Amino acid sequence: MATEIERKFFVINKDWETQASRSDRLTQGYLTQGGERSVRVRTKAGGKAFLNIKSSVNGISRLEYEYEIPHEEALEILDNIALKPLVDKVRYIVEAGEHTWEIDVFSGENQGLIIAEIELGSEDEQFEKPEWLGAEVSGDPNFYNMNIPNQEWRKTYPEELLLKYGGTVHETIKYELEDCIDGC
């Protein structure tokens, strides 16, 4: 049995960009919506594709299974079966202390959202919090990957999220949009 223990945070500035060691464009679509599980198909640059199955969240832990599938079949599933809109993002890898961070910069329907994720060995594992890390959103269903396409995070922006997270969403969106003034 595979268990994923993951924490998520807002990203509040661009300081992480110079620390990124690599990146990968990801497109993913969900075959289920809400409920006690998520099933998604994800494609990566370079022709790789995966089927991923996760249980509902229990704290910051959940069961997770992932299997490589043929890229062409993944594209067919995304086009013909997956719920819309699809999620498009670039995932950057950043090493900080003893851990690896995944920084997801969303595009398309979710332009402006930037989330940092860290996978841990246990729920109480300690880790270094980089200066570019904002408020934690691990327990907020609006920021579960399967809910990102619903854009609940955008519907409540800015007042409720600004109050809840101390302005970190505003700053994230602000710096992302400043780079896209002439079209993204």
Torsion of CA 100, 107, 59, 30, to 10 degrees: -120
Among the listed residues 30, 92, 144, 165, the single catalytic one is: 30
30 is catalytic: yes
Would you name the residues annotated as active-site residues? 30
